[in-house]
Amino acid sequence: MARLNDPIAAVCRISARTALLVLLALGLAACALSDTEPAPDIPQTSSLSSTDGGYKLEPGDNLKVVVFGQDQFSGNYRINPGGTVTFPQLGEVTVAGLTVRGMEAALTERLNQGGLDNPQVSVLLDIAKPVYVIGEVQRPGEYNFKQGLDLAGIVALAGGYTRRADTKMVYLTRSGQTGERAYRVAELPPLTPGDVIRVPDVR
C-alpha cells in the first residue's frame, strides 16, 4: 500500500505545484494588462475654440487674445455694444462682423502699424452660446454648442424628429441676423454658436 501511495502523492505534489505556477502566471498577466491599459479620457471642459466655422463675431462675444511675447495685449476681452474691443496702447479695434481669423488679421495689422514687427496673434472664441432648435422635433429648446455639432447631432439632442417632420429641408437663422434661410439637409453649412434651426413639417 505504501508503494502504491507514493506515486499518488507525487502526482498530487506535481499537480499542486502546477496549479501554483498557473496562478502566478495569471497574476503576472493581469498586472501586465493593467499596466498597458490606456488612460481614461478626460472630459474637455473648456468652451474656447480656435476654429470659427465661418461664425461672425458680434457684440457680447467673449474672446481670449494671445499676442506671443506681448503680455500687455494678451488677455480676456468682450466685444462691446459698438462692435469693438479696446486694447491697451492700441485703442479700439472693430471686430464685429469678422470671423476669428479675420480678427487675428485685423489685430495683426494694427500691431504692425503700432511698430510691433511680425506679431504672432491667436484669438480663441468662447463658444458657450447655445444652439436653438424649434419646429418638428421632440424637445424643442436650446442646447450647448460644441465644435463639430451638426444637424444630426442637434436633432438627436432634441429627441429626434416628430412624425410630421420634413427630414429633407431645414431652416437656419444665423446669430445676429434676421430672417431664416432654407437649406436642403445635405447642404446645411456648419453650425455656429447662437444659430437657430427650424425643422418644418411635411406640407
What is the residue-level pLDDT of the chain in tens, covering all 203 positions? 444 445 544 444 545 555 554 454 555 444 444 433 333 332 333 455 555 567 788 888 889 999 998 889 999 998 998 999 999 888 899 999 898 899 999 999 999 988 888 899 999 887 667 899 999 999 999 998 877 789 999 999 999 999 999 999 999 998 777 889 999 999 999 888 889 999 999 87
Grid coordinates representing 71 are 503680455
Find cell 491599459 and name the residue.
Answer: 37
- pTM of model > 0.85: no
Reduced to 3 states, what is the DSSP secondary structure of residue 129? coil
Q: How far apart are CA 127 and CA 49, in angstroms?
A: 7
Q: What is the pLDDT of residue 89?
A: 86
139-150 residues labelled b (16+ CB within 10 A) or e (exposed): ebeebebebebe
How many CB atoms within 10 Å of residue 87? 20
Cβ atoms of residues 59 and 83 within 8 Å: yes
**Tens digits of per-residue pLDDT, 16-52?**
555 554 454 555 444 444 433 333 332 333 455 555 5
